[in-house]
Amino acid sequence: MTFTKIKLITDSVADLPKEVIDKYDIAVVPCFVNYEGQSFADDGKELDREAYYRNLPTMTTHPTTAAPPPALAEEMIHKHIEGADHLIAVVTPAKLSATYNSFRIGGSGLPANRYTLIDSGNLSMAMGFQLVVGAETAAKTGSVEATLDAIHRVRNNQALYCALSTMEFLRRSGRVGWAAAGIGALLQIKPLVQVVEGEVRAAARIRTFGKAVERLHEFVREQGKLDKLAIIHANNEEGALAMRDALKDVLPADVIVTRVGPTLGTHIGPGAIGFASVSASWKA
């Protein structure tokens, strides 16, 4: 059987830690954050992430986010397919961003047997784990078919939940209809949200952030045996580490604790805590 050299590419909403990017040689196309009349690449370099989250609540004009333009996606796609037989792109859901379309246009000049584009249906490390498993499978099998199958099985056996310290930023984003109505802000609700097939849904509406985090712990335990888990936070590392400690009896061997990038953080707001999990059943 021919061994195919497969490489993976994504956008910065995947929130992959640098050590994971380096380990699996995953290419990342940055999305952009726009504020104070400037546009900043969400690449971990142009923006001081801690300062951004610290200043976000007091910014007079709410920042906006933007997908990478098709020309940038095309440039990165063609750059990273060099030396590879096949490039697999796993990107932010088309329902939430124009990123998917940028990758579609950017890869349109490549033959189908060299480029595959996947709508991840999810965000943050729920996207990230699709890439991790894809890279592991590609390195082990050299099979595009096996790699795509593994990615889709992970996609179908994962969860992403997040507790927001305030609903204000989700409301401002205008990306979620039920949030834009402002009901949560009126009632001082601390929403627990989940992402399902590219849609942000309210999983619970709770009066205090502490109770929301407790419910988040329950959601982790309800996932059953886990193969992978990432605890994500928007500049709330202390809360993320406390969550890891509280759940140590059900955690898989390797747990990632990571801060979400400004692209996603702009919409969920500082202080948020969540998790992305992959059920062990994906291997069945």
Cα–Cα dist 15/19, whole Å: 12
Q: State percent of the chain over pLDDT 90.
A: 75
| pLDDT number for residue 74 | 98
List of residues 6+ apart from 75 with CB closer than 8 A: 106
Chain length of the chain: 284
Cα–Cα dist 88/72, whole Å: 17
Mean pLDDT of 62-83: 96
Return the structure tokens found at 121.
């249906």
Question: Hey, how many other C-beta atoms are within 10 angstroms of the C-beta on 115?
Answer: 20
Mean pLDDT of 5-13: 98
Cα–Cα dist 182/173, whole Å: 12
Domains and CATH numbers, the chain: 6-31+67-155 (3.40.50.10440), 158-283 (3.30.1180.10)
Query: What's CA 135's distance to the chain center, in Å?
Result: 17
- Minimum mean pLDDT range among 39-53, 95-109, 110-124, 263-277: 39-53
H or E element, residue 87: strand 86-91
183 pLDDT tier (thresholds 50, 70, 90)? low
Mean pLDDT of 246-264: 94
Is residue 171 within 8 A of residue 185, CB to CB? The reply is yes
| pLDDT number for residue 241 | 97
Question: Hey, how many other C-beta atoms are within 10 angstroms of the C-beta on 215?
Answer: 16
Return the structure tokens found at 108.
């349109």
182 pLDDT tier (thresholds 50, 70, 90)? low
35-59 pLDDT, tens digit per residue, is 988 999 999 888 888 888 899 988 8
